[in-house]
Structure 1
Amino acid sequence: MFSEQVPLLNIHQSTPRRTTLCDKCHNTFVSHTPHPPVPTELLKSCGVPTNIQISETLSFIADEEREIDRYDVEILKLRHAMDCLESEKAEMREKIRDRKGWISALRRIPPEILSQVLQEWSDMDEYDLEVRTQEISAHTLRMSHVSSQWRNVIISLPRLWSRFAVSMEDTIKFRNADDLINLHLERAGSHPLLLHLIVKTKAPPEELFESRLGPHGDSILRTMARALPRCKELYLGVEDEFLLLLEKGLQGSSFPMLESFSDEFTDGHRPWSSSDNQVVSSFCAHLHNAPRLRRLFLASDYLIRTVMLPYGQLTRIHLITLSLTVAKHILQVCTSLSALTVEGLCDPVAPLPVPAVLQNLTYLDFRGCNTDCLTALFQSVTLPSATYLSIDAHLPPHSDFGRTVAWHSETEFISMLERSAAPLQEVHLFFNDVYMTSDRLAKLLPLCPQLTSLEVSVSTRPEDNMEQWAMVPQLLQQLVAEGSSHELSLAPRLAQIDLSERVVLESTALSIAELALRMAESRRLGSDGMQVLKKVRVECVLQSGDKGQTSHMLKDECLVLGTKGLECELILKLEQSAAEEVWELDADEEPLIY
């Protein structure tokens, strides 16, 4: 029976355990209670231990618990030593990191070069600080945290802190936005500012001023108002009641640094609607007195029609929409104008009795203008200094859009070029359902002897089916340098050609492509007085035909020109659906680009 078994101590004899703590000094840790474990057969048996066995086991437990305390003390000593080693190891890593940083390539960059690099990096972003309803982006501040060296260099460059975009179309939720703006304004120092400010809240106008913007938005707007006199470029789209606060921020300074002003509104509506608005008039009085104002980008001609601006000192004007009446006014009073861009010319009126001579105008770009307005415009101007001309002509609203017609303004256009005798270098013509007649087209290139880049895009109606309307073949034919008398060729400085036309017959497209290759080859080598042609791009749209067969006929010739150093691109497209006005490439065909 179990009660007759020998005591536990005598079942197994256990050797004391020795643990070496140090191989160098042979320091060991020896267990003082080498009691044997409980035999497995006893643990699996169903017997009951005797009183002697219980007493003996309790004695073993007491000894082993005291031994555990000894283990804990020793482990604590070892852990402390390990912690010391880990700490010393971490310190050593920091030293290594600091030493590598000290001799790093970035630290060896001279401050003047690092300054230039950081400024180039900054120019990759449009703004240094962007505050919007749901996000804040502070590019410069983030980069200033890279290292103390970078921070010192960045803080020493006020320009990197001077460009702001603040858009408040709802309540601003960021408490620190105003602090960030003030930090950037402080670090910008006296450097002129670029500010893009949009304030368009969804709250009803009858609500209190502060409640419409929220407490943070109200604080931001007041901060921006104080910064207005420091602006060099100002993009503004605000409602009238907010404009009043901005006007107070000027404090009679009248934009002493302002060079560029834009009334930009995100939904396309002009920001100020009533012509008798005293707030608008008061604000624009500061624009009138801005001594350095040179550039205007306006959503409409509203300001030009209703307030006085410093027209005589303006050099660049960009308008989204412009009535011809106001255009005539601009031509008469903006004597220093060098660039004019209009994205929509409307309200045709009689031309000026005597064409305005714009001696300084070098850049003219009219987009999306109907032919009636262009007729009056061409009759009203003389451009003796123009080097860039872009015209996008389409039929007026009352015209029949079901057919292609001759360009009503072509006579006036050619007459303007003749009396201007301008040194045009770039000409871009876009015709939508209009075309130039052969006799007028023949006069275009002789009037542009210094032309270096020509782009013509013609869109005709497939149902017209009149091959003689194709303008591109006529232009290419004129540009072919015949024989050895290259000095007599038209546009001898032409280096880049981009032509596009909707055609109705495969034979016409093939003729255009062959003419393009012939012209490119004739001008490829150049001669005395003739610029070497560098790039030719011709795009044709076929109403029907075998594009694949035509493409293969041209491929070899393109390859030959490509090996001779000319970038030649011929694109043939098939009409997908004339009714839908959609033009696509076949899925299995790629443009011929060599």
Structure 2
Amino acid sequence: MDLSPQEVDCLRTEAENLEFTLQHLSNRRCLILRQINAAKSTARVLPTETLSTILAFACRQPNLDDIKAQPNLGNHCSRDILRFSHVSSRWRSVAFSIPQLWKIMTIQVHAFLDIQRSADVLALHFRNAKAQPFSLCVCYPLEEGIHINLDPITDILFQEQHSERVAWLELRGWYPRAWLSRISHNFPNLKHIRCDDAAPRNPFLYLNPPDSAPHLTPPNLESLSLSRCLVIIETSWEKITRVNLTSQLIWTCAQILFQCPNLVEFRCTRTFHVTEEEEEPIPEPFIVAIHTFPYLTHIEWGYQSTDWDRAILRHIRLPALKYMSWYSYVYHVDMAGYVASFFDVLSSAQATLEELHLLGQTFWNENQLQQLLSPLKHVHHISLDKGEGNAAGALVSVLTRPGFEGEDNLPSLRALTIGFCLDEWNLHGTENHLSWLSIRVVEMLQNRLTKSSQFVVDIRMDWTEGAQERVRKMIRDGADLKVLDDGEEVEWL
């Protein structure tokens, strides 16, 4: 095709324009791609402060004060900060720069565990935690007869530069006497020891005699938690403020109680004697001296022995007590002496006691409960569980009628809980008996709600129709009342 000179010039000009346009579009495309990549990079690279906050939240741990106040917090295993450090080199750099993320470690022992790697990770935790107080939990929930050699972990833990930084040591599922015997002045910052032996052994074999128990000498121990095992503390008992004992000899519990004058919390449950056939005699020192615990605010005692209960109660005074849970097993013939001893303890705590929980197969009557509760002006929650005879009815009657001085018994009461002691009434009680009890409870509620803004009642009882309607009417009239049955709201409200 022949083109004139003018047409050739036009095409040449158009080609030049297209080349310019293509170059412009190419530049524009590159700019757009750079902007997109920059946007992606900005989204991926978080500010260091934000990333630090995310890691701290993801690997958050309860602090030692919370764990001491609520021992079950120590049950949850620590999250592995190493998982987050593997996301990228930058995440690793940030994670390794925050000592708080490395101060707690849990080792879950199992048959296929790489012990050497766990020891290496433990050393890494110690190194990265720097000067932070360190907490170590070793879980060993293996069947009896299976043995795992933990020497590599032991070698790391008992190095002096590591042991001197351990503040919390928890051994779950096992009772390593050799480990515990090595806890000495090389652990100057150890504040809490928890040992829970889950092995299904006969307790009379591993707790008797106490001479076989490991001896510990940490100089600054403050909290001790033992379950199905025993240790002997040879350092100052005066620094120990919290004790939690489970499945122990009654003698051991009493001995520890009276050796710790500065206790703040004392829990003792499921105790027993040296032999199954007879009760252990009460040693003479506990029959002489009265011990005042000026800082004890929380006590739980769970043992079924009239003599030991009375001996403990007779010789303790608790002027700072706020919470008391006492499990007892007392027959009719022993109630007089038991109530007198219990009254002395409650009288010493009358200015501070806020919660009182009476547990166990004890034959309370109205006069005994009236005497027991008369000095208590600040109790806002009382509970009764497993009481024998008409214990629950006696308690409701005492809370309904005036006290010795004409005012209500427990004038600050805001919550009442009555548990399994009502099962016999529900199964075998007559309709008249249930009607009487329901009426007394309603009368008590009407009296209490005229003097307080709210009330919670939790009773395992079949309410009569008449009592249910009276309760519904109180709520319609504006009463702030909650009615529960074993912690669950009743269906008829």
TM range (shorter): 0.7 to 0.9
1:141 aligns with 2:82: yes
Contact 1:331–1:381 (8 Å) recurs in 2: no
Alignment partner for residue 411 of structure 2, among 492, 507, 510?
A: 492
Cα-to-partner distance string for 1:479-530 (whole Å, 9 max, x where unaligned)? 3487xxx99323222222222341223333333333333322332253xxxx
1:297 to 1:421, Cα distance in 2 relative to 1, 3 A? same
Contact 1:144–1:150 (8 Å) recurs in 2: yes
1:564 aligns with 2:478: yes
Instruction: Name the structure 2 match of 1:56.
Output: none
1:520 aligns with 2:422: no
Residues matched between the structures, number: 433
1:88 to 1:219, Cα distance in 2 relative to 1, 3 A? farther
Alignment partner for residue 416 of structure 1, among 345, 354, 378?
A: 345
Alignment partner for residue 398 of structure 2, among 478, 486, 498?
A: 478
Alignment partner for residue 363 of structure 1, among 298, 306, 319?
A: 298
Offset of 1:197 from its aligned partner? 2.3
Question: In terms of Rg, which structure is larger?
Answer: 1
Instruction: Name the structure 1 match of 2:3.
Output: none
Q: Distance in 2 between matches of 1:431 and 1:203?
A: 34
How is 1:312-391 mapped onto 2 (pairs within 5 angstroms)? 312-347=238-273, 348-350=280-282, 351-391=286-326
Offset of 1:264 from its aligned partner? 1.9
Q: SS in structure 1 opposite 2:320? A: coil
How is 1:446-465 mapped onto 2 (pairs within 5 angstroms)? 446-460=374-388
Instruction: Name the structure 2 match of 1:442.
Output: 370
Alignment partner for residue 533 of structure 1, among 430, 454, 468?
A: 454
Amino acid at match of 1:533: Q
1:229 to 1:593, Cα distance in 2 relative to 1, 3 A? farther
Amino acid at match of 1:566: D
Instruction: Name the structure 2 match of 1:263.
Output: 195
Q: SS in structure 2 opposite 1:232? A: strand
1:345 to 1:565, Cα distance in 2 relative to 1, 3 A? same
How is 1:155-166 mapped onto 2 (pairs within 5 angstroms)? 155-166=96-107
Amino acid at match of 1:592: E
Instruction: Name the structure 1 match of 2:70.
Output: none
Q: Distance in 1 between matches of 2:484 and 2:127?
A: 56
Q: SS in structure 1 opposite 2:136? A: strand
1:301 to 1:97, Cα distance in 2 relative to 1, 3 A? closer
1:101 to 1:332, Cα distance in 2 relative to 1, 3 A? closer
Instruction: Name the structure 1 match of 2:168.
Output: 233
1:554 aligns with 2:491: no
Q: Distance in 2 between matches of 1:454 and 1:519?
A: 14
Instruction: Name the structure 2 match of 1:55.
Output: none
Q: Which consecutive residues of structure 1, in runs of 5 or more, have no partner in the other structure?
A: 1-23, 26-85, 128-135, 206-211, 461-468, 574-584
1:478 to 1:203, Cα distance in 2 relative to 1, 3 A? closer
Percent identity, please. 18
Cα-to-partner distance string for 1:343-399 (whole Å, 9 max, x where unaligned)? 12444534522322222222110124333321222122222222111012236xxx9
Cα-to-partner distance string for 1:436-491 (whole Å, 9 max, x where unaligned)? 1221111122121111211112344xxxxxxxx42333333333487xxx993232
Contact 2:55–2:84 (8 Å) recurs in 1: no
Alignment partner for residue 41 of structure 2, among 94, 98, 104?
A: 98
How is 1:40-51 mapped onto 2 (pairs within 5 angstroms)? none
1:247 to 1:359, Cα distance in 2 relative to 1, 3 A? closer
Instruction: Name the structure 2 match of 1:18.
Output: none
Q: SS in structure 2 opposite 1:297? A: strand
Contact 1:571–1:593 (8 Å) recurs in 2: no
Amino acid at match of 2:41: D
Q: Distance in 2 between matches of 1:554 and 1:496?
A: 18
Contact 1:551–1:572 (8 Å) recurs in 2: no
1:233 to 1:414, Cα distance in 2 relative to 1, 3 A? same
1:90 to 1:563, Cα distance in 2 relative to 1, 3 A? farther
Alignment partner for residue 186 of structure 2, among 254, 267, 285?
A: 254
Cα-to-partner distance string for 1:150-206 (whole Å, 9 max, x where unaligned)? 65654443222122222435352476433333332222112111112245877979x
Q: Which consecutive residues of structure 2, in runs of 5 or more, have no partner in the other structure?
A: 1-13, 16-28, 65-76, 274-279
Q: SS in structure 2 opposite 1:213? A: coil
Q: Distance in 2 between matches of 1:569 and 1:238?
A: 40
Q: Distance in 2 between matches of 1:354 and 1:203?
A: 43
Instruction: Name the structure 2 match of 1:591.
Output: 490
Offset of 1:417 from its aligned partner? 2.5
Offset of 1:265 from its aligned partner? 1.4
